[in-house]
């Protein structure tokens, strides 16, 4: 089945697979930081979200630029780094929204934001990274 796909589609599927592995690691790391701060230490969930963001940005750029999108786009420049930071800020804003909506507004508990953090935010960041950051 894969052999019948056009080369560009195969490349995109390979990037998606690498992004999933890298993204799963970075997301799990971020969720782990969030869980430690918000659930275990019982500190403010938005602080946990911010600290998770800092850890994820630092780890994510290196892993995504060197592995996930290694065969996509050209040279990594300051522009690439700036676009990555913008996408990371969008990711942070999305996760902040999940914390606000599900914990602060709907009072569904401190763990409720983890589900969209694991599934929705990574889907959005894959599209933005592939189409805009590592073009």
71 phi, psi to nearest 5 deg: -105, 25
5 pLDDT higher than 80 = no
SS percent in the chain: helix, strand, coil, step 5: 80, 0, 20
Q: Report the residue count for the chain.
A: 135
Q: Helices marked H in 5-77 — which ranges?
A: 7-34, 45-63
Q: What is the pTM of this model?
A: 0.72
**In this predicted structure, which of 3-17, 42-56, 81-95, 110-124 has the lowest mean pLDDT?**
3-17
Can you tell me the distance from the alpha carbon of 62 to that of 68, in angstroms, rounded to the nearest whole number? 10
State the total domains in the chain: 1
Mean pLDDT, residues 19-30 taken together: 88
User: Residue 24: which domain range?
Assistant: 2-133
pLDDT digits (tens, 9 = 90+) for 38-89: 999 999 999 998 999 899 888 988 888 888 777 666 666 888 889 988 999 9
Tell me the percentage of the chain whose pLDDT exceeds 70: 94
């Amino acid at each position: 089945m894969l052999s019948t796909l056009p080369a560009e589609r195969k490349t995109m599927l390979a990037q998606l697979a690498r992004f999933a592995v890298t993204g799963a690691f970075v997301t799990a790391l971020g969720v782990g930081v969030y869980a430690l701060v918000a659930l275990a230490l019982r500190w403010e969930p938005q602080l946990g979200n911010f600290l998770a963001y800092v850890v994820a940005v630092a780890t994510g750029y290196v892993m995504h630029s060197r592995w996930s999108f290694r065969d996509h786009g050209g040279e990594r420049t300051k522009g690439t780094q700036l676009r990555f930071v913008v996408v990371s800020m969008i990711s942070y804003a999305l996760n902040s929204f999940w914390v606000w909506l599900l914990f602060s507004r709907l009072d569904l508990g401190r763990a409720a934001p983890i589900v969209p953090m694991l599934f929705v935010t990574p889907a959005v960041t894959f599209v933005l990274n592939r189409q805009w950051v590592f073009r």
